[in-house]
């Protein structure tokens, strides 16, 4: 069985060269959006995305002493889910989201979690620094997802895990057109709805060991090994 459904190959453009989305966004726009929604993010996206968060943490199989990088830590909603015998670094581009995350980490006494303001496309870590690099609900929120994934791969140790939870454009032709139609609207609540999964995998060079649908069928959990 294929890892993901595909539209008729004759109707699809070459995934190695196709545009991944009809929308282009800049970092300033993204920061502005998340500054506006930081106070209500947990209410808007907390419950609906939580099953995906839980499944991702389960599939990671975090071992004692593992170093985990969460790219796009947001309000720190995942922070309390990590086992306390690992070391977690969470980075985010939005000062407003990080303010919420720092309050949460302090309030819950999560001494194994550190938070840093950083651009996901320019990670300030040495090569091969982390056992697991995790991007929850991030890659359709950034201006250059390919550059972000290159950085994630760079800082991941050989044979480490790269874990992505994200909304991707549906393979169903009708729903695919809907995803494209509403993407200019969804960017105003923080994400592009039409990021193409086959194109994303082809252009990043990621080789998934598993792809699962999570929460509702709109989101996918993609787990890869860093080769």
Question: Would you give the DSSP letter of residue 76?
Answer: -
Q: What is the 3-state secondary structure (H, E, C) of 205-222?
A: CCCEEEEEEECCCCEEEE
Residue 148 sits in which domain range?
27-225
Q: What is the pLDDT of residue 93?
A: 92
* pLDDT tens for each residue of the chain, 227 residues long: 334 444 444 455 676 656 666 566 777 777 787 778 888 888 888 888 888 999 999 999 999 999 999 999 999 999 999 999 999 999 999 999 999 999 999 999 999 999 999 999 999 999 999 999 999 999 888 888 999 999 999 999 999 999 999 988 878 888 888 878 877 777 777 777 788 899 999 999 999 999 999 876 678 999 999 98
Q: Is residue 203 part of a domain?
A: yes
Q: Is residue 55 part of a domain?
A: yes
pTM here is: 0.85
Q: Which two tokens stand for residue 18?
A: 């196709």
Q: What is the pLDDT of residue 21?
A: 61
User: Strand ranges (DSSP E) for 143-215?
Assistant: 156-167, 208-214
Token pair 């609540």: residue: 189
Q: Is residue 104 part of a domain?
A: yes
Q: Alpha carbon of 146 to those of 177, 198, 206, 207, 217: distances in Å?
A: 23, 13, 10, 14, 24
Q: Is residue 21 part of a domain?
A: no
Q: What is the pLDDT of residue 168?
A: 86
Q: How many CA atoms lie within 13 A of 2 on its CB side?
A: 7
Instruction: Report the candidate in 162, 173, 165, 170 with the shortest Cα–Cα distance to residue 206.
Output: 162
Q: What is the pLDDT of residue 6?
A: 43
What are the b/e assignments for 103-139, b being 16+ CB within 10 Å? ebbeeeebeebebeebbbbebebeeebbbbbbbbbbb
Q: What is the pLDDT of residue 192?
A: 77
Which H helix or E strand runs over 50?
helix 41-60
User: Strand ranges (DSSP E) for the chain?
Assistant: 67-71, 87-92, 113-117, 130-136, 156-167, 208-214, 219-225
CATH code, domain with 152 = 3.40.50.150
The order of strands in the sheet holding 130-136 is: 113-117, 87-92, 67-71, 130-136, 156-167, 219-225, 208-214
Domain count, the chain: 1
Q: Is residue 13 part of a domain?
A: no
Q: Is residue 107 part of a domain?
A: yes
The Cα 186–Cα 75 span in angstroms is 20
Q: What is the pLDDT of residue 77?
A: 95
């Amino acid at each position: 069985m294929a890892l993901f459904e595909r539209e008729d190959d004759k109707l699809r453009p070459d995934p190695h060269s196709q545009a991944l989305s009809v929308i282009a966004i800049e970092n300033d726009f993204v920061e502005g959006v998340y500054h506006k929604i930081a106070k209500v993010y947990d209410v808007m996206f907390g419950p609906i995305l939580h099953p995906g968060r839980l499944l991702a943490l389960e599939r990671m199989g975090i071992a004692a002493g593992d170093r985990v990088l969460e790219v796009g830590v947001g309000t720190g909603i995942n922070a309390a889910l990590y086992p306390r015998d690992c070391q977690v670094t969470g980075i985010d581009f939005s000062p407003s989201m990080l303010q919420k995350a720092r309050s949460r980490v302090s309030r819950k006494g999560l001494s194994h979690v550190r938070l840093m303001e950083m651009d996901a496309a320019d990670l300030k870590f040495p090569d091969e620094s982390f056992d697991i690099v995790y991007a929850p609900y991030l890659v359709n929120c950034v201006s250059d997802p390919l550059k972000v994934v290159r950085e994630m791969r760079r800082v991941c140790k050989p044979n480490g895990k790269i874990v992505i939870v994200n909304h991707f454009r549906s393979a169903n032709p009708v729903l695919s057109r809907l995803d494209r139609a509403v993407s200019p609207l969804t960017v105003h609540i923080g994400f592009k709805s039409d990021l193409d999964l086959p194109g994303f995998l082809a252009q990043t060079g990621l080789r998934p060991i598993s792809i699962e649908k999570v929460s509702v069928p709109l989101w996918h959990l993609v787990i890869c090994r860093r080769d």
